[in-house]
Homo-oligomer: A and B are copies of this chain.
Amino acid sequence: MSVKIFGHQNPDTDTITSAIVLCDIETQLGNDCVSTRLGGISAETKYALDYFNHEAPEQIDSVNDNDEVMLVDHNEFQQSAENIENAVVLKVFDHHRIANFQTEGPLYYRAEPVGCTATILNKIYKEHNLTVSKQMAGLMLSAIISDTLLFKSPTTTDEDIAAAEELEKIAEVNADEYGIEMLKAGASTKDKTAEALITGDAKTFAMGNKNSRIAQINVVDVDEVFARKAEIEAAINKEIETEGYDLFILVVTDILKSNSKVLALGHDALSVEKAFDVTLDQDTAVLEGVVSRKKQVVPNITQALS
């Protein structure tokens, strides 16, 4: 049976395109695989897939016992497919911390502290002397632009920038021009329900004995979101009640100003004050310079809760 390749739940552009790109790599290496996804395609990702004329991977929810799988852009089991504990993880390509992950046997695991999984996959093509097509280059470039917010996020490394410079030539686009259009395509919140806003790019983190849910949306108009504060709060409080989160943070990131306004709820909401040395005003605070969940929000909240 084909090896299933997938990224995390609530897939973003890096997760979707990296599943496609890794499947291209494995296919070139002679391995039978299929790229899949654990959730819907965002407007931003749809823009990238349409632009480079590639279909979305097939959606799955769970894996079967002993299924052979490869993970991209995540490793924590609670962010992965249902029943992942009983699958055989052959390979992982990721750029996040490692936690809540374990295997019974040896595996290939490639994590690097770079801004994007695609930056690592771009290296893998070279290590195996494989061909990067225009289409794959465009998908990897889209992932880097998405994860680094067009190179403005503090997660951006020199390697991401160098990879993007290589890839924009192969993809035959201008990274800045293409990038701002792609980000804008995903930045409108008008057509989205409150539920969609708080679940679209949300991840659960075990922090000590606390269970935190951190959702992020990238926008060009922060006020457009906070005009709907009451509706969004109700949706978050419902999730807190159903899932038992100790803390739920919605991070609304302004992709043009490179800062974020957060809405923090749950009985550990005040940890945000300690984490960022701010005072919450009606459960909200502006975090200057904060655009990265992974590099800024998660470590600070983990520290504040410990």
| Bound CA span A294–B103, Å | 12
From A16-24, A110-118, A192-200, give the one contacting chain B: A110-118
Question: A11 to nearest B CB, angstroms?
Answer: 19
Please state if A106 and B102 are interface contacts (CB–CB under 8 Å).
no
> What is the minimal beta-carbon distance from A89 to any residue of chain B, in angstroms?
9
Residue of B nearest to A206 (CB): B102
Q: Is A103 touching B113 in the complex (CB atoms < 8 A)?
A: no
Within 8 A of B (CB), among A108-136: 108-113, 127
Q: Which residue of B lies closest to A302 (CB)?
A: B104
Closest chain B CB from A29 CB (angstroms): 14
Q: Are A106's CB and B111's CB within 8 A?
A: yes
A106 in complex: contacting residue of B100, B294, B302, CB < 8 Å:
B294
Q: Kindly list chain B residues whose C-beta atoms are within 8 Å of the C-beta of A105.
A: 97, 113, 295, 299
Q: Is the interface of A mostly helix, strand, loop or mixed?
A: loop
Is the CB–CB distance between A110 and B110 below 8 Å?
Answer: yes
Q: Does residue A234 face the partner (Cβ distance < 8 Å to B)?
A: no
Q: Does A46 contact B (CB under 8 A)?
A: no
Supposing A101-B98, A299-B104 touch, asked if A110 and B113 sit within 8 A by C-beta, the answer is no
- In the complex, are the beta carbons of B101 and A107 less than 8 A apart? no
Is A100's CB under 8 angstroms from B102's CB?
Answer: yes
Q: Are A108 and B98 in contact (CB under 8 A)?
A: no
Chain A residues packing against B (C-beta within 8 Å): 95-113, 127, 294-295, 299, 302
12 residue pairs of the A-B complex, CB under 8 angstroms, read A96-B106, A97-B102, A98-B98, A98-B101, A98-B107, A98-B109, A101-B102, A105-B295, A108-B111, A109-B110, A109-B111, A110-B111
